């Protein structure tokens, strides 16, 4: 299997100053207490209007975000592409509630598609449905749209129209669009609309990608049903495969409301289903396109091994590996160096509005066992390697 231990390749694009900043950040993130204190101080300072944006922009924002605007991301896009790592521009503004804001976000997502049309360095676009409509609407429609009243039906139709506009822009530009997965109690609505878009735009190639969270114990069966549905309907099924991002919230809600948890019983079960999904999807290569979003070294190496065993060429654009900016460079850059298709999510947006994303990223790194320690050890290894060359 592939090794991801070559830190010279992993951090070739990083200056010594970049590595020093990354070491500091991951050292802080390794401490749940420091993360909790840091979140409190940051939120208070921003709400009080204290001048801390410069500090944020030079540290955690610079590590995990490309800039405040699409144009500010240009340097990051170009720097990664020098090493054949593509960019997925992710407008990471959250918590909006007005139609004006939803429309503005829709236009911003379409602008990322337009940017992708100008360069092969941006192979995909992405959006969250909750960025362009109300969470409550998606929840109300989760059991089907038949029970919606006239006002909610009108709002639902406006939501579908925005999603359709984004997907059509992707279709016209030839840029595939990921529709992100969210909480279980709105996911059926998202799946239903996503499949509706696939019927319109995925006849020739996968333009619309559904996101499947394998920390749910029902998703392997869902995936098999979805591919069968795609075959029946003459659709190329695009799937972004991830482990997931809402585990604690899901468990808490299930306990509170007294229904069985949708979450896998343990990490091993999640890993097994993720890897089984990779095996299944590569068997169905003629009918699907896959982006394996993972910071898990074994799963990434496993997919590369499957591709080799099944004779699937590295350069075929229907299989990509993906990670987040600022994390798992040892996976991204070593895979790209070996000729695999790789892209990294590059979040962007105004600092204050992207803070919920950044603070969630800190929480997730704190809770993922071994992730932060692995990042730190590789950074230290590369710093020591460079010192030995002096």
CATH of residue 91's domain is 3.20.20.220
Cα separation of 91 and 66, whole Å?
10
Which residue segment(s) compose the domain that 76 sits in?
A: 67-353
- Kindly indicate the confidence band of residue 161, based on its pLDDT and cuts at 50, 70 and 90: very high
Per-residue pLDDT reduced to its tens digit, 65-119: 999 999 999 999 999 999 999 999 999 987 788 999 999 999 999 999 999 999 9
Q: Which residues contact 342 (CB under 8 A, 6 or more apart)?
A: 84, 85, 86, 320, 321, 322, 323, 332, 333, 335, 336
The residues pairing with 239 across neighbouring beta strands, listed in sequence order, are 210, 290
Per-residue pLDDT reduced to its tens digit, 121-155: 999 999 999 999 999 999 999 999 998 999 999 99
Task: Determine contact, residues 92/349, Cβ cutoff 8 Å.
Answer: yes
In a domain, 12, yes or no: no
Residue 191 vs residue 58, higher pLDDT? 191
In a domain, 388, yes or no: no
The predicted model gives 14-18 an average pLDDT of 93
Share of the chain above pLDDT 70, in %: 94
Distances (CA, A) of 24 to 144, 175, 344: 48, 36, 22
Per-residue pLDDT reduced to its tens digit, 231-275: 999 999 999 999 987 888 899 999 999 999 999 999 999 999 999
Considering only 14-28, 119-133, 203-217, 279-293, which range has the smallest mean pLDDT? 14-28
Q: Name the phi and psi angles at 207, rounded to 5.
A: -100, -45
In a domain, 330, yes or no: yes
In a domain, 194, yes or no: yes
The predicted model gives 177-196 an average pLDDT of 97
Per-residue pLDDT reduced to its tens digit, 318-339: 999 999 999 999 999 999 999 9
pLDDT, position 357: 79
Q: Name the phi and psi angles at 184, rounded to 5.
A: -60, -35
Q: What is the pTM of this model?
A: 0.94
pLDDT, position 372: 80
Residue 370 vs residue 276, higher pLDDT? 276
As for how many domains the chain has, the answer is: 1
The predicted model gives 290-311 an average pLDDT of 97
What length is written for the chain?
390
Cα separation of 108 and 96, whole Å?
14
pLDDT, position 368: 56
- For residue 34, pLDDT over 80 is answered with no
Beta strands at 208-213 and 342-348: parallel, antiparallel or unpaired: unpaired
Q: Which two tokens stand for residue 242?
A: 């991830």
Helix axes 351-367, 16-29, angle to 10 degrees: 70
- For residue 46, pLDDT over 80 is answered with no
Angle CA(210)–CA(254)–CA(359) in degrees, nearest 5?
Answer: 65
What is the rounded average pLDDT for all residues in the chain? 92
The predicted model gives 161-168 an average pLDDT of 98
In a domain, 368, yes or no: no
Q: Which two tokens stand for residue 258?
A: 């007294």
- For residue 367, pLDDT over 80 is answered with no
Cα separation of 109 and 124, whole Å?
11
- For residue 371, pLDDT over 80 is answered with no
- Kindly indicate the confidence band of residue 352, based on its pLDDT and cuts at 50, 70 and 90: confident
In a domain, 5, yes or no: no
Q: Which residues contact 169 (CB under 8 A, 6 or more apart)?
A: 110, 113, 114, 175
The predicted model gives 52-76 an average pLDDT of 91
pLDDT, position 45: 67
Angle CA(333)–CA(336)–CA(338) in degrees, nearest 5?
Answer: 115
CA dihedral 201, 204, 205, 207 (to 10 degrees): -10
Residue 199 vs residue 40, higher pLDDT? 199
pLDDT, position 192: 98
In a domain, 255, yes or no: yes
SS (H, E, C) the chain: CCCCCCHHHHCCCCCHHHHHHHHHHHHHHCCHHHHHHHHHHHHHHHHCCCCCHHHHHHCHHHHHCCECCCHHHHHHHHHHHCCCEEEEEEECCCCCCCHHHHHHHHHHHHHHHHHHHCCCCCCEEEECHHHCCCHHHHHHCCCCCCCCCHHHHHHHHHHHHHHHHHHHHHHHHCCCEEECCCCHHHHHHHHHHHHHHHHHHCCCCCCEEEEEECCECCHHHHHHHHHHHHHHCCCCEEEEEECCCCHHHHHHHHHHHCCCCCECCCHHHHHHHHHHHHHHHHHCHHHEEEEEECCCHHHHHHHHHHHHHCCCCCCCCCEEEEEECCCCHHHHHHHHHCCCCEEEEEEECCHHHHHHHHHHHHHHHHHCCCHHHHHHHHHHHHHHHHHHHC
Angle CA(262)–CA(268)–CA(269) in degrees, nearest 5?
Answer: 40
In a domain, 298, yes or no: yes
Cα separation of 52 and 310, whole Å?
52
Distances (CA, A) of 267 to 263, 272, 298: 10, 9, 13
């Amino acid at each position: 299997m592939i090794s991801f231990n070559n830190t010279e390749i992993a951090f070739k694009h990083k200056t010594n100053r970049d590595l020093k900043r990354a070491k500091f950040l991951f050292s802080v993130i390794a401490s749940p207490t420091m993360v909790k204190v840091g979140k409190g101080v940051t939120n208070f300072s921003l709400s009080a209007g204290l001048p801390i944006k410069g500090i944020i922009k030079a540290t955690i924002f610079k590590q995990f975000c490309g800039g405040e605007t699409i144009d500010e991301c240009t340097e990051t896009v170009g720097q990664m592409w020098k090493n054949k790592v593509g960019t997925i521009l992710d407008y990471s503004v959250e918590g909006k509630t007005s139609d004006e804001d939803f429309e503005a976000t829709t236009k911003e997502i379409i602008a990322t598609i337009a940017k992708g049309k100008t360069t092969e360095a941006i192979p995909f676009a992405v959006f969250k449905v909750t960025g362009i409509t109300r969470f409550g609407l998606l929840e109300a429609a989760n059991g089907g749209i038949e029970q919606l009243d006239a006002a909610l039906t009108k709002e639902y139709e406006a939501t579908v129209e925005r999603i359709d506009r984004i997907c059509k822009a992707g279709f016209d530009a030839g840029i595939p669009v990921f529709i992100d997965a969210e909480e279980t109690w709105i996911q059926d609505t998202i799946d239903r609309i996503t499949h509706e878009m696939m019927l319109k735009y995925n006849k020739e190639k996968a333009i619309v990608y559904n996101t499947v969270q394998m920390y749910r114990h029902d998703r392997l069966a869902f995936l098999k049903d979805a591919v069968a549905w795609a075959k029946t309907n003459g659709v190329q099924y695009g799937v972004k495969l991830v482990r997931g991002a809402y585990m604690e919230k899901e468990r808490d809600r299930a306990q509170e409301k007294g229904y069985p948890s949708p979450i896998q019983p343990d990490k091993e079960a999640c890993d097994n289903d993720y890897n089984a999904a990779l095996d299944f999807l590569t068997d169905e290569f003629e009918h699907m396109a896959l982006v394996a979003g993972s910071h898990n070294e074994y799963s990434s190496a496993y997919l590369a091994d499957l591709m080799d065993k099944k004779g699937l060429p590295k350069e075929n654009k229907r299989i990509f590996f993906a990670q987040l900016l600022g994390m798992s460079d040892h996976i991204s850059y070593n895979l790209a160096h070996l000729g695999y298709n790789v892209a990294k999510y590059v979040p962007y947006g105004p600092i204050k509005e992207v803070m919920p994303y950044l603070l969630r990223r800190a929480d997730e790194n704190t809770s993922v066992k071994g992730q932060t320690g692995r990042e730190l050890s590789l950074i230290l290894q590369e710093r020591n390697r460079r010192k030995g060359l002096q």
